[in-house]
Chain A
Amino acid sequence: MNELVTVTNLTKVYDKRKTALNQMNLSIPKGKIVGLLGPNGSGKTTLIKIMNGLLRPTEGTVLINGSAPGPETKARISYLPERTYLRNSMKVKELIAYFADFYEDFKTERAKEMLESLGIDENAKIKTLSKGTREKVQLILVMSRDADLFILDEPIAGVDPAARDYIIKTIITNYNENATVLLSTHLISDIENVLDEVIFIKDGNMVMQATVEEIREEKGKSVDAYFREVFAC
């Protein structure tokens, strides 16, 4: 089996009015870095939250390694949400201990190395850190796991270019051949060289899934340019 994630007829309706996902079908292979691309409001975050068990679908299923989202899948998924979930009262090193306690695949050494290379003091309390630094701490925690699936929701939105390069480098160096990285973004040009595949979604539907090289070869243009064409924006 080469599929890691299978999404079948997935539908999510908020408050009985707003349809975020509409009968979506797609599958995500193992061992690939996959871009989940779509304009704002296309359903990227909704799909990601369902995969992580933070939202319940209205209809349809998501299977990760054959299981619906639950404790087993959570043990194997490392998720970076678009918001900060760090407790203000905790110190960086307490968070590391927290992650190490709950996630068997967490590598404390790796986390400490990354903190050091970014010059973040592990004795600092979260509330004393700037927003940008908090985001980096969160990225370090997420990337220090040996998960099967990394789900990164808009990891490069709103960060400075140096941080963006660091994030991309971190993804490349920490990722191993058996892991899948699913990365949602609307800033494609920054990240397309890192991707194996892209999934375009629009209005809660998957409109295309292809490898980056296929798009470049067949269309003779970058994924970014092609994306702009498809979504006419």
Chain B
Amino acid sequence: MLKKLLKHEWVETWKIPTFMLVALLVITVLAGLGFSAPIWESEMTGLTILMILLWLVYYFALIAVSIGITIYLAYRFYKSMFTDEGYLTHTLPVTARQLLVSKILPMCAWSALASLAIILSVFIFGAMAYMFLEPSANVSLAEFVQELQRAMKEVFGLEGGTNFVISLIALMVVGVFSGTLTVTGSITIGQLVGKHKILGSIGAYFAIMIVMQTLSMMVMFPSMFRMTFTAEDNVFVVMAPMYYGISIISLIIAVLLYILSEFIVKRKLNLD
């Protein structure tokens, strides 16, 4: 049943996020091409304004993709679970767990994909800027890869470098899950409120954020202290434990939110 749910969830939701990512890619390339225009030398203010507008559009496209996909999927989650559509969703012969997993997993996947797309987009934008503004440099792809490898080696060569990279990856991976579960969790918790369920969801979201921020601060504090008051000046050594700490806290909160969501859908569901 989970497979079927995932299949239908995918069919139902893939179009808009895919469109957004493709649109971001197109805008990225357009904005990058903007660097080829002779705006630095020319007197044409019209062209300059046009380019600035283009980059602004790019900037907003980045923001739109980073929150737009989440908002769209959050809306689909809310609509299919807790509105009239819920009358069908909750009378399918499936468990609360299957339902939640079938909706949360694609959201996580899209969230990860969106993050990767944003990184890729910024990278393409930067590369194009470099290419057009420093044509003399004439960097080849091979040289670029070499440079990248050299930089990586440097990072991993330093004390705590590897550990730092792992902590950073952990933070990002956990972030995908905790970000998604914060959204689905607050929507679900809002259902416990009698009449103003959406207001309840918004309240729950801020409550979760405050808890997460407070706990993160507590983890960050030792690292900050160490950086300020001890002679330790290796950023990697200082930051890695902090990232691990925040990852663990986010993970615990994500798991708790999931358990709470499943409990609510299973035992406390009250569709209007």
Contacts and interface: CB of A to CB of B under 8 A. Distances in A.
Interface of A: 14-15, 49, 52-56, 70-72, 74-75, 77, 79, 81, 83-87, 89, 98, 101-103
Contacts of A81: 87
B93 A85 contact: no
5 contacts: A53-B90, A54-B87, A79-B87, A85-B85, A89-B12
B12 to A, nearest CB: 7
B214 interface: no
Nearest to A16: B194
A87 B12 CA distance: 10
A147 to B, nearest CB: 11
B193 to A, nearest CB: 10
Given A14-B194, A85-B86, A55 B91 contact: no
A77 B91 contact: yes
Contacts of B271: 49, 54-55
Contacts of B93: 71-72, 74-75, 102-103
Nearest to A151: B91
A127 B104 CA distance: 27
A15 B200 CA distance: 14
Interface string B176-196: 000000000000000000110
Nearest to A74: B93
A67 B3 CA distance: 25
A50 to B, nearest CB: 10
Given A53-B91, A55-B270, 4 more contacts: A52-B91, A77-B91, A79-B87, A85-B87
Interface residues of B, number: 23
B87 A83 contact: yes
A20 to B, nearest CB: 11
Contacts of A49: 271
A83 B84 contact: yes
B94 interface: yes
B84 A84 contact: yes
Contacts of B85: 85, 87
A102 B84 contact: no
B91 A74 contact: yes
Contacts of A54: 86-87, 90-91, 269-271
B92 interface: yes
A101 B4 contact: yes
A76 B176 CA distance: 38
B177 to A, nearest CB: 26
Interface string B40-81: 000000000000000000000000000000000000000010
B88 interface: yes
User: Sorted from nearest, which 5 A-B pairs have the closest CB atoms?
Assistant: A75-B93, A85-B87, A15-B194, A85-B88, A74-B93
Nearest to A54: B271
Contact of B268 (A14, A56, A77, A89): A56
A101 B267 CA distance: 26
B36 interface: no
Nearest to B94: A71
B43 to A, nearest CB: 51
A70 B92 CA distance: 9
Contacts of B149: none
A15 B12 CA distance: 34
A71 B89 CA distance: 12
B8 interface: yes
Contact of B8 (A53, A79, A101): A101
A159 to B, nearest CB: 18
B95 interface: yes
A231 B69 CA distance: 53
Given A54-B91, A71-B95, A102 B4 contact: yes
A102 B92 contact: yes
Nearest to B8: A98
Nearest to B11: A94
A159 B266 CA distance: 35
A114 to B, nearest CB: 19
A53 B86 CA distance: 11
A71 B271 CA distance: 17
Interface string B7-42: 010001000000000000000000000000000000
Nearest to A101: B4
Contacts of B8: 98, 101
Of the candidates B85, B91, B267, B269, the one having the most CB atoms from chain A within 10 angstroms of its own CB is B91
